[in-house]
Structure 1
Amino acid sequence: MDARYVFAVRFRLDPTVGGVSVEPNEFETRLSRDADLPGEEGWLFFRDNLWRGEINDERHFRRLTEEALDATVLSVEYRAFETDEEYLDALKDEIGADLATFNDDSVSAVLNKYLGSSIEVQE
């Protein structure tokens, strides 16, 4: 099983050593975060951080990304949830086992509520 959350990150390098500079000092890159296995600690990342295919607390998520990258993060945008069919099936099963946690009636409604249309199934 394989899945990851993908983000576009714009960051700036601010060298701290005297006489060192970089040009350009701003960059955009793709950041991936592995998705935890359904049912394991951290698997609710999508519920806790996304809403309708967008980051739900941009400032908080930018701070987390700054800590991970050790750089000044200017912006973070959610792009996609890349998964294989096996992971997606396991995710659906785990969501379906406890729809009350998500306050919804169906697995597809839960996925849409948090991930929007950003699910990309890899072969």
Structure 2
Amino acid sequence: MARDEGGATDSPAAAYVFRVTVRIDPEVEGVWTEPDTFETTVVRAADSPGDPGWLYFRDNLWRGECGDEAHMRAVAEDALGMPVDAIDFRELRTTQAYLDDLRAAMADDLVEFNAETVDAALSKYLGSSIHVTDDI
């Protein structure tokens, strides 16, 4: 995403939203935090349909939840640089235009999703966790 002169980033057309429990684990003896965990929202920009990485939902989600929580915790830990105790998929936040492009790309190769319709494929991976909005 590009940054403007003020440092703000252009909004992506869609993003995956997760609720994550992060653990603060000080490395200095005699230092601790209270509480030692907190919840935060982590947002990952969705790649445009057809671009590398656009199948993120297919590879990581199942029925609107993380398909492999341990793997997703490890991915979040790498991205955040701190231990992650729990991760929960919340939604694909998307513009209508992105969703239309996603549906079209999926329709071009339903075999890829082992589904007979685009709606069935979307439900299989994202459940009912699609939030169409102009404010990503």
Question: What residue in structure 2 maps to residue 17 of structure 1?
Answer: 28
Query: Which aligned segments of 4 or more residues in structure 1 are displaced greater than 6 angstroms?
Result: none
Deviates more, 1:17-26 or 1:75-84: 17-26
Higher relative contact order (CA 8 A, sep 6+): 1
- Bigger strand share: 1
Deviation at 1:72, TM superposition (A): 1.2
User: Which deviations, in whole Å up to 9, do the C-alpha atoms of 1:53-109 show, x marking residues without a partner?
Assistant: 010111111111111111111100000110000100000000001111111111111
Provide the TM-score with structure 1 as the length reference. 0.95
Aligned to 2:14: 3
Identical residues among aligned pairs (%): 50
Aligned equivalents of 2:45, 2:33: Cα separation in 1: 30
Residue 131 of structure 2 corresponds to which residue in structure 1? 120
Correspondence list, 1:53-72, <5 A: 53-72=64-83
Alignment partner of 1:39 is 2:53:
no
**Residues 32-111 of structure 1: pairs in structure 2 closer than 5 A:** 32-111=43-122
- C-alpha separation between the residues in 2 aligned to 1:5 and 1:70? 19
Structure 2 residue ranges without an equivalent (≥5): 1-11
Matched residue count: 123
How far residue 19 of structure 1 moved from its aligned partner, in angstroms, is 4.0
TM-fit CA distance, 1:23: 1.8
Q: Deviations over 1:23-69 (max 9, x none)?
A: 22110000000000000000000000000001011111111111111
What is the CA–CA distance in structure 2 between the aligned matches of 1:39 and 1:18, rounded to whole Å? 49
In structure 1, stretches of 5+ residues that fail to align are: none
* Pairwise CA distance, 1:20: 3.1
Letter in 1 for 2:67: N
